[in-house]
Chains A and B, each alone.
Chain A
């Protein structure tokens, strides 16, 4: 089912986003932790890749210009929305 494939691609984004978020919060209270900084950058790298793969198939994850160039149609309005998935 199309939605299942979309969810299996999205979960990779969610996982890596979560790693980046956790390290972000950790770095807010431990700003000098070099290991955390390096791991954060690794997470950012992976997150970029997973986002690109997902967005190519299903459209932008971010709005207001943060999601890059629009394609021929305005994909932002497309379903499903997160609470419908």
Chain B
């Protein structure tokens, strides 16, 4: 089960309102390579992992991704604080105000709502861990794009923290893949079924 800690993992600060960037950065809230997808992917895959180590890692990284989702929410929250309907309109984000006012919602940078098709669970540890490594790379690259799209040094700092977390997660999933592959070849297991030579 989950317990919530009443603090962000890393502080979030913005220099001033910026609805255009809010509209863009929200892709890491509800977009294809964002933190919601990451956390649901890992928390769901853990049920079909073969070892305690893999179950632990997927639980832990999946939980950390929820904390990252919260940080993105905090960025958006601060960027839209005090914004008027006209501010939304000027930023090309009138649809967001119409549908959500100052509320948040899971969409990508083009307003496309989050979709479970962004994630997979094949129930095969090698396929799933490989998908996770790809996901971490895509998230890393997306953070690079977002860092390039803002001039706000405070936001850049926060996004760089999240960028580095993707690098570390990639390493951990890779190590888990090493381990799981060794485990599966030792026990001659393939997709949970014993193999006869």
* Interfacial residues of chain B within 1-44, with CB under 8 A of chain A in the complex: 3-12
- CB-CB contacts of B39-65 with A at 8 A, as 1s and 0s? 000000000000001001100110010
| Chain B residue at smallest Cβ distance from A29 | B175
- The yes or no answer to B155 lying at the interface (CB within 8 A) is no
Interface SS, A side:
helix
Binds A, one of B69-77, B110-118, B131-139, B143-151: B69-77
Please report whether the interface of chain B is mostly helix, strand, loop or mixed according to DSSP: helix
B103 CB to nearest A CB, Å: 13
Q: How far is the CA of A31 from the CA of B78 in the complex (A)?
A: 40
CB <8 Å contact, B9 and A17: yes
Q: Which residue of A lies closest to B177 (CB)?
A: A29
Residue of A nearest to B77 (CB): A83
B4 and A63 within 8 A (CB) = yes
In Å, the complex CA distance between A34 and B6 comes to 31
Total CB contacts across the A-B interface at under 8 A: 71
- Whether a CB of chain B sits under 8 angstroms from the CB of A11 is yes
Knowing A28-B60, A29-B57, A29-B179, the reply to whether A14 touches B4 (Cβ < 8 A) is no
Does the CB pair B64–A81 fall under 8 Å? no
Contact with B along A69-85 (1 / 0, CB 8 A): 00000001000011111
Given that A25-B168, A29-B175, A82-B74 are known contacts, is A61 also in contact with B7, CB under 8 Å in the complex? yes
Chain A residues touching B, range: 20 to 34
Residues in B whose Cβ lies below 8 Å from that of A29: 53, 57, 172, 175-176, 179
| A78–B5 alpha-carbon span in the complex (Å) | 14
Chain B residues at the A interface, C-beta cutoff of 8 Å: 3-12, 53, 56-57, 60-61, 64, 70, 73-74, 77-78, 168-169, 172, 175-176, 179
5 tightest Cβ-Cβ pairs between the two chains A and B: A83-B74, A29-B175, A28-B57, A82-B8, A28-B56
A-B contact pairs, 24 of them (CB 8 A): A10-B7, A14-B7, A17-B9, A18-B9, A18-B10, A21-B60, A22-B168, A25-B64, A25-B168, A25-B169, A26-B172, A28-B53, A28-B176, A29-B179, A30-B175, A63-B3, A63-B4, A64-B3, A82-B7, A82-B74, A83-B12, A83-B70, A83-B78, A85-B11
Given A14-B8, A29-B176, A66-B3: 19 more A-B contacts, CB < 8 Å: A17-B7, A17-B9, A18-B9, A18-B10, A21-B9, A25-B60, A25-B61, A28-B172, A29-B175, A30-B175, A31-B53, A61-B5, A62-B3, A62-B5, A63-B4, A81-B6, A82-B74, A83-B8, A84-B77
Q: Using CB atoms and an 8 Å cutoff, list the residues of chain A in contact with chain B.
A: 7, 10-11, 13-14, 17-18, 21-22, 24-26, 28-31, 60-64, 66, 76, 81-85
